[in-house]
């Protein structure tokens, strides 16, 4: 069975080139390492670049998209596989099934919502795989400060620091996946501070 990595990221075409360069590098490195990529399936922004780079380099790209987005032709035509679902909830659930890790690139409210849900699931022991947050050009600096503040002020316990790992460049992603702290479903036992 092919190892799968889920990537949460932007669908905007109007963002800084550095984010596109990072997405391309990640897709190339993951494809070279033999991972299939699961993403939102959109044809624009970082999603589109990841799909394009993956397929161009002989990799396998799966897109998961709700029917309402497909009806307005948001889905990429370059995907290796398209999974059409009913709604956004099912999309998130399908994207994280049987993956080796989650990678969050820069994005808007949708990306942030996906990332926060998977962090919550991991905190409760319902998801146990690595969550890697790519902090290109300091994009996630404020989120990192907020998560640290939640821990410092006891809204989350100290063990929560092992839920995620921030990296600054794409070359650190694969090592971060392999060197993430182990996590189990027993995390539910310390979810309450």
Per-residue DSSP letters for 20-82?
HHHHHHHHHHHHHTT-EEEE--BSSHHHHHHHHHHHHTT--EEEEEEHHHHTTT-B-SS-SEE
Q: Count how many residues are written for the chain.
A: 193
Please give the pLDDT value at position 188. Answer: 78
- The answer on pLDDT for 161 being more than 60 is yes
pLDDT given for residue 65 in this prediction? 94
The token pair at 93 is: 């659930």
Q: Which CATH class is domain 4-190?
A: alpha beta
What contacts 170, CB < 8 A, 6 or more positions away?
Answer: 22, 25, 26, 29, 134
* Residues 6 or more apart whose Cβ sits within 8 Å of residue 138: none
Predicted pLDDT of residue 60: 98
pLDDT > 90: what percent of the chain? Answer: 90
Under 8 Å between Cβ of 27 and 125: no
- Other beta carbons less than 10 A from residue 67's beta carbon: 10
pLDDT (tens digit per residue) in 168-186: 999 999 999 999 999 988 8
Residue 186's pLDDT is what?
87
Indicate the pLDDT class of residue 192, thresholds 50, 70 and 90. Answer: low
**Per-residue model confidence (pLDDT) at position 73:** 67
Dist CA 29 CA 155 (whole Å): 36
């Amino acid at each position: 069975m092919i190892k799968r990595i889920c990537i949460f990221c932007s669908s905007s075409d109007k963002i800084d080139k550095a984010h596109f360069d990072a997405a391309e590098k990640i897709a190339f490195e993951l494809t070279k390492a033999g991972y299939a990529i699961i993403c939102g399936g959109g044809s624009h922004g970082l999603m589109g670049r990841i799909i394009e780079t993956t397929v161009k380099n002989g990799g396998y790209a799966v897109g998961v998209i709700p029917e309402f987005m497909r009806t307005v032709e948001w889905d990429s035509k370059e995907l290796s596989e398209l999974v059409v679902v009913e709604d956004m909830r099912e999309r998130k659930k399908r994207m994280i099934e049987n993956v080796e890790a989650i990678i969050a690139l820069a994005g808007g409210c949708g990306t942030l919502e996906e990332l926060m849900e998977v962090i919550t699931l991991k905190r409760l022991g319902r998801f146990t795989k690595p969550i890697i947050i790519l902090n290109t050009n300091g994009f996630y600096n404020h989120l990192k400060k907020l998560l640290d503040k939640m821990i410092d002020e006891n809204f989350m316990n100290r063990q929560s620091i092992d839920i995620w790992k921030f990296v600054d460049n794409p070359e650190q992603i694969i090592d971060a996946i392999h060197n993430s702290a182990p996590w189990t479903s027993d995390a539910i036992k310390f979810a309450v501070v």
